[in-house]
Amino acid sequence: MTEHLPVSVRAPRRVPLVGRHAELRVLAGHVRGAQAQDGPGGAVLLAGEPGIGKTRLLDRLARTCPEHLVVGIAGVRSQARLGFAALHGLLRPFLGGLDTLPPPQREALGAAFGLVSGGTADRYLAGLATLTLLAGAASVRPLLVLVDDVQWLDPESADVLGFVGRCLHGDAVALVLAGRDDRDGPDPFDGIPVLSLTGLPPADARDLLAANSAGRIDPAVAGRIAAETGGNPLALLRLTRTLTAEQLSGGAPLPVALPVPGRLRAHFLRRVRALPADTRTLLLVMAAAAPRESAERWRAAGYLGIAAHAADAATAAGILTREHAAGFQHPVFRSAVYWGAEAADRRLAHAALAAVTDPVRAPDRRAWHRAEAAVGPDAEVAGELEAAARHARADGGPAAEATFLLRAAELSPTDRVPRFLAAAHAHLALGNPASAQAAVDRAETELGPEDALLRARVRQTRTRVDLHRARLTDVLLAERARTELAAAGEQARTPAEPADRALTHREREVARLAAGGVLNADIAGRLFISVSTVEYHLGKVFRKLGVTSRRQLTTVLDAEARLP
């Protein structure tokens, strides 16, 4: 039976714990040592960045120890200046035994908790008193003590718990502490063994994403999310809520740098903001550059007058790797640096990258950096983006085409309506009617009273979007009806034309492989075509079948395959 659980342990958890098998084995072994009354107790400190899963591990540990008396607290930032507040919360169930303590210990603990007047709250004696109370409770039943968020403990309580952790031996008491890995100042838990938590491995990260997403997540998208979050569970879960269904399914492009939760960003930015100004600017340029722009980022830094040795401070701080082509030590640094910067500074970084990018060899990347650096409408940049969209269409990249066209429309001083409509058509080709609808809505807001022809084009495009959505709705309703009839013992007898009859032979091949969960790269290998060609065919398949994700594609093909 467990008692007096900390709030974090009592709270119901809808998100399952994924992975962490090795860490759970270490913690279980630690608790087993304490459970043997003549075995070692001792303490262990779980350390890691915010959101890495420390609290979840404490929760799981508490729930898997039914033989133990489990007590616990969590540090609270607002109480970090209240001396002995955390210790009082922890020992409250045992204060009935206060009178059994030796007088010096009783007086010290009573003074610390305001139970007596005139005494001295000596930390050493308070620590001995805490040891005595915990050991007394453990003599009746093995004791598991959980302390979360130790970085927010008041200094007095932290000192006492650190002392207790170093002195626990053979008392049938297991003490598990958890806190961030960047605590400032003297460490009160020095000498206590540390179990460092790192990000989830890619397979576990993908499982966590899949378990917490309402729709299907494209494997390539899941791979990028796992890589750029470093497998941090909090960041993974937040991105399933902040990214759109189209982005998660691979139907719409992801941002340049994926956004991460505010407190995780703040954790990584603490080290960044302590660096010299030139080093911070260099890091922002590196964050704004695409991964393949290794040479451009150094040239952009030079363009801004920043010497290469500005990277030394970031390397010494553990932000950049020590390799010649330096990169971020942790992928979340890139997102934190980019989204933690002021908008004007981000524009400056993109402008520098645009200035050093070859307009002949990489016109599309240059156009995008110029677009990100733009403050207001810019006809020249809009034209370059439109050209980049044509290149993307020729290469079979409908997602890039839609992104370029939408940004071109936003930056156009004139002719915004045709470009918004072109973006809507590109989103339809991609199988993304929601984004197409948004582009049509924006086009409509730009219409003037004399734009009769453009108004007709807007209505025509809106009709195409509605038809696209209606086809998908009809197919899904037909599938629901088939399921309900089957449950009632009936069989649908309405003949129907197979959904993929309008597809070419190659489109049918690509569609069936994609619906079976085969990755784009693997489809390309099986069919001996390029990945961009696979993306091109999938865009046409999505448009023809009226679907917006691979999950819907699977539903449509399965539904039609079951029709008589």
Q: Which of 65, 85, 69 is nearest to 173 (CA)?
A: 69
CA separation for the pair 62, 80 (Å, rounded): 25
Buried b (16+ CB within 10 A) or exposed e, 379-395: eebbebbbebbeebbeb
Residue-wise pLDDT tens digits, 508-551: 888 888 887 788 877 887 787 877 788 888 888 887 777 777 77
Which whole number is the average pLDDT over 396-420? 85
Q: Do 7-196 and 500-564 agree at the fold level?
A: no
Phi-psi map region of 166: left, alpha, beta (phi>0 left; psi -120 to 50 alpha): alpha
Structure tokens at 143: 């004791």
* pLDDT for 199 beyond 70: yes
Q: Which CATH number fits domain 7-196: 3.40.50.300, 3.20.110.10, 1.10.3720.10, 1.10.10.10?
A: 3.40.50.300
Domain ranges of the chain: 7-196, 202-248, 376-477, 500-564
CA separation for the pair 415, 447 (Å, rounded): 10
Count the neighbouring beta carbons within 10 Å of the beta carbon of residue 183.
15
Residue-wise pLDDT tens digits, 115-124: 877 667 788 9
Count the neighbouring beta carbons within 10 Å of the beta carbon of residue 467.
12
Q: Which has the minimum average pLDDT: 243-252, 334-343, 357-366, 375-384?
A: 243-252
Q: Which CATH number fits domain 500-564: 3.40.50.2300, 3.40.190.10, 1.10.10.10, 3.40.50.10140?
A: 1.10.10.10
Q: Which helix (H) or strand (E) holds 4?
A: none
Q: Residue 497's pLDDT is what?
A: 44
Q: Residue 161's pLDDT is what?
A: 93
pLDDT-based confidence at residue 370 (cuts at 50, 70, 90):
very high
CA separation for the pair 172, 168 (Å, rounded): 9
Structure tokens at 545: 């079948």
CATH number given to 376-477: 1.25.40
Phi/psi at 355 (5° precision): -65, -30
CA separation for the pair 340, 342 (Å, rounded): 7
Report whether 546 contacts 469 (CB < 8 A). Answer: yes
Q: Residue 351's pLDDT is what?
A: 94
pLDDT-based confidence at residue 12 (cuts at 50, 70, 90):
very low
CA separation for the pair 422, 132 (Å, rounded): 75
* Location of structure tokens 């819907």: 552
Q: Residue 400's pLDDT is what?
A: 78
pTM of the model: 0.60
More confident residue, 181 or 470: 181
CA atoms within 13 A on the CB side of 60: 19
Phi/psi at 253 (5° precision): -70, 155
Q: Residue 560's pLDDT is what?
A: 57
DSSP state of 358: -
More confident residue, 492 or 45: 45
Q: Residue 472's pLDDT is what?
A: 56
